[in-house]
């Protein structure tokens, strides 16, 4: 399991964030279409989460590790 630890020690399950964001993206795409601003923003947010997962190392204020 990959988690994200913020500067204040808050642990966030990155897999769960990606899963939920992906579900939100599908819902928005079905409801508003793929070229809608909300859908595009959600897609960009998902890209950022996946990028954080792929980096897997320290980025400003966050540390990632596998449990």
Give, for all 67 residues of the chain, the pLDDT tens digit. Answer: 455 555 544 556 888 889 999 999 999 999 999 999 999 999 999 999 988 888 774 454 555 554 4
What pLDDT was estimated at residue 10?
52
Residues contacting residue 22 through CB under 8 Å, at least 6 positions apart: 46
What pLDDT was estimated at residue 15?
83
Q: Where are the domains of the chain?
A: 2-66
What pLDDT was estimated at residue 20?
94
Superfamily of structural domain 2-66: Helix-loop-helix DNA-binding domain (4.10.280.10)
3-state SS, 1-64, equals: CEEEECCCCCEEEHHHHHHHHHHHHHHHHHHHCCCCHHHHHHHHHHHHHHHHHHHCCCECCEEE
- CA 43 to CA 28: how far, in whole Å? 10
């Amino acid at each position: 399991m990959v988690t994200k630890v913020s500067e204040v020690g808050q642990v966030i399950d990155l897999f769960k964030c990606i899963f939920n964001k992906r579900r939100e993206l599908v819902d928005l795409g079905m409801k508003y279409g793929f070229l809608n601003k909300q859908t595009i923003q959600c897609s960009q947010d998902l890209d950022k989460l996946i990028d954080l997962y792929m980096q897997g190392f320290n980025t400003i204020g966050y540390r990632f590790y596998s449990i």
